[in-house]
Structure 1
Amino acid sequence: MSLRSSTLAAALLSFSALLPAGSAAVAADMPVKAVKPIIDVPFFMVNDNRITYSYQFTATDPGVPGKTAKQVYSFTHFDVWAYGTNFFTIDMLKSDHNDPAVPCGLVAGVTGCAGATEFYGLFRSTLGFNELFNTKQFSAGPLRNVSFYFGADFNTENNAVAPAKRSVVAGLQFAFNLPYKGYFNVSPVYYNEFSNHNSFLMPAFNGGIGIPDGNTQFRGTWAVETNYYMDLGFLPDYLPLSISGRAAWYGPKGQGTSIAIPGNLNTATEFNSEPIRLTLDASKMMWGPKYSHHLDVWVAYRYWQNKFGLDHKNSPVCTGANSGSCTEQSLSSGVSVKF
């Protein structure tokens, strides 16, 4: 070692000997810029689950004279994730005695049956083009996004018809902004009710002509599904009301059978809507914005023409003694709880 190096080393050793015992940690204790923690982004940006009880005052069922009251129990799920949305609902609809469960209406002379019970499920999903392609090219003015839109419906009911609907939809959704953070969605789609069931199309009810198992298959057709929501933000804060609604048109889908059966006519364009629902955000009104929409109370109007595609003017199921049974106009009211 050179004389210069030896002298420098000795000086450093002498200086270190003068430092307090804990000074070896001085460098470690020097302030440094904190590393920002990595925040876990949840998979679902919105995850909303609700149960609802509602009462429909004057529902109708094709081929059943008069009005039918229905109690409806529903579970609804809605979520938003990185590339789109998912919506799912399943309803249990319990009819009064006017829409009886089997064997009433199927076996002559049997009366006094309880009301029928229907289960109806529906899901709809979207994949947003802005999100899929990491762009804003599908937004312009009030148009917020364009999405691929798809879904399915299914049902079963223990009435005389014994329906077992299975259908799919696929197309586009155009999503528009409304005031007060509202939205309006329009979805032109392809609709295919590829499977259903109708006991009254079996040979026993048609003089030996019919479908042995009662299963039907309709042709694909066009459809347009719409829905909207808007807070009534111009009202005072102590009155948190909102409006929402939906409307859907389903084109004619044929007879559902490969053979001609007396009285089984071609279907007509079906219009199924709940044009207005007025909702009171009861939880926000009672407990503040933190609990917004945890408890909703609502009233709605429903209008459904050519129910299930049955022509309300010409189908034997909808005319004569059954006149009016294929057009539904009804008020309904319910309570929804978020959990």
Structure 2
Amino acid sequence: MISYRYESDTKQPGNAGGAGRAIDGRSAPKNIITFANTNAWEYGTNFFNIDFIKSGSQDPSGYKFPFNTIPTGEGALEYFAVYRGTLGLNAMTGTKAFAIPGLIKEVSIAYGFNNDKDSRSFRNDQLDLLGGINLAFDVPAGYVSLAAQAYKSYNHNALIPARRTTVYDWAPELELTYGIPLPFESVPLSLNGYIVMIWPRGNDDFGNATRLQFQSRTDLVLDIGKLIYNQPNRLNAFVGFYYYQNKFGADQRFIPGANQKSFLAGVALHLN
């Protein structure tokens, strides 16, 4: 799958300024190209997603002298990669011992990673490792799954020469993902999205205590291929809303830009 989306009013913790309250931070648009692949095999599933992100100049790629206070005038470049894998206990044992009809379809071992790099002054390079249990719910149509995982994060920060890598504490993490077709026979619509919660994981790069992170995205998706050409799951258009509270664990009560509310829109082309 290849997709493009536009996000409005994105925020970056510590990026102060702009109109409105100082604590709101500076708003910047983002243009995002995504490559994603999902596949299933005998014992589980694999999901890989990579976003290539270009910010508006309001979210600068860095700062110039004197004293690193003048923005370069260029928006930041960033990539964010996600991998999630599962190993189904029913699939591996060849039984239905881990299924509850009408409630749970499969219980799986879950594992994965995130990797994020950008061209901001921080030169952020973050690696997250995750592992735990995933529940695939037995729903009439679409899918709903919940993963409860342990989360470990490592972050490289170019602004702190004395401590270039921060090793965060292990923390609990929950991921709810869903894709639910809506009951409109003449218009093929669905709701797709996710909710992620990451508990406090120690102190950040600057020694500040991290906060509970809450992140959600919900898209209303129109299957254009099915609507026009009777070829489902080929071409989609979508609009959505993205919310991130205490972004990256930064405390939104004190750090500008740590709370984001963004509308988004885009198109997706499925190649298989």
How high is the TM-score relative to the length of structure 2? Answer: 0.91
Q: Residue 303 of structure 1: SS of its match in structure 2?
A: strand
- Separation of aligned partners in 2, 1:330 and 1:294: 26
Superposed counterparts of 1:96-135, under 5 Å = 96-104=56-64, 107-135=67-95
Deviations 1:245-271 (A, max 9, x none): 1001111111146xxx5xx31101111
The aligned residue for residue 133 of structure 2 is 172
Q: Work out whether 1:197 is the aligned partner of 2:140.
A: no
Once the 2 structures are TM-superposed, how far is the Cα of residue 107 of structure 1 from its aligned partner? 4.6
- Structure 1 CA distance for aligned equivalents of residues 66 and 226 of structure 2: 49
Which of the residues 67, 75, 84 maps onto 2:27?
A: 67
Q: Secondary structure at the match of 2:70?
A: coil
Q: Distance in 2 between matches of 1:130 and 1:67?
A: 47
Where do residues 23-172 of structure 1 align in structure 2 (5 Å cutoff)? 50-65=1-16, 66-104=26-64, 107-140=67-100, 141-172=102-133
| Contact kept in structure 2, 1:302 and 1:330, CA below 8 Å | yes
Q: Is the 8 A contact 2:63 2:69 kept in 1?
A: no
**How far off its partner does 1:329 sit?**
0.5
Amino acid aligned to 2:38: F
1:249-328 superposed matches below 5 A = 249-256=197-204, 264-274=207-217, 276-288=218-230, 291-314=231-254, 318=255, 322=256, 325-328=257-260
**Bigger helix fraction:** 1
1:183 Cα deviation from its structure 2 partner: 1.6
Q: Give the 4+ runs in structure 1 shifted more than 6 A.
A: none
Q: Of residues 176, 179, 188 in structure 2, which corresponds to 1:229?
A: 179
What is the aligned-residue RMSD (CA, Å)?
A: 1.6
CA deviation string 1:222-264 (max 9, x = no partner): 11111111111x212x31111111001111111146xxx5xx3
The answer to whether the Cα contact below 8 Å between 1:255 and 1:265 also exists between their aligned partners in 2 is: yes
Q: Aligned in 2, Cα 1:111/1:327: closer, same or farther, shift over 3 Å?
A: closer
Is the 1:151–1:168 Cα contact (8 Å) retained in structure 2? Answer: yes
* Aligned length, in residue pairs: 261
- CA change 1:111–1:173 in 2 (3 A) is closer
Deviation at 1:98, TM superposition (A): 0.4
Give the secondary structure class of the aligned counterpart of 1:113. Answer: coil
Structure 1, unpaired ranges of 5+: 1-49, 203-210
Distance 1:328 1:162 in 2: 21
Bigger Cα Rg: 1
Shift of 1:177: 2.5
CA, structure 1 residues 336+82, in 2 after alignment: closer, same or farther (shift >3 Å)?
same
Contact 1:104–1:113 at 8 Å: present in 2 too? no
- Name the structure, 1 or 2, with higher relative contact order (CA <8 Å, separation 6+): 2
Q: Aligned residue for 2:21? A: none
CA contact (8 A) 2:62 2:71 kept: no
Q: Post-superposition shift, 1:192?
A: 0.2
Secondary structure of the residue that 2:4 maps to in structure 1?
Answer: strand
8 A contact 1:219–1:256 mirrored in 2: no
Task: Give the strand-richer structure, 1 or 2.
Answer: 2
Distance 1:330 1:105, change over 3 A: farther
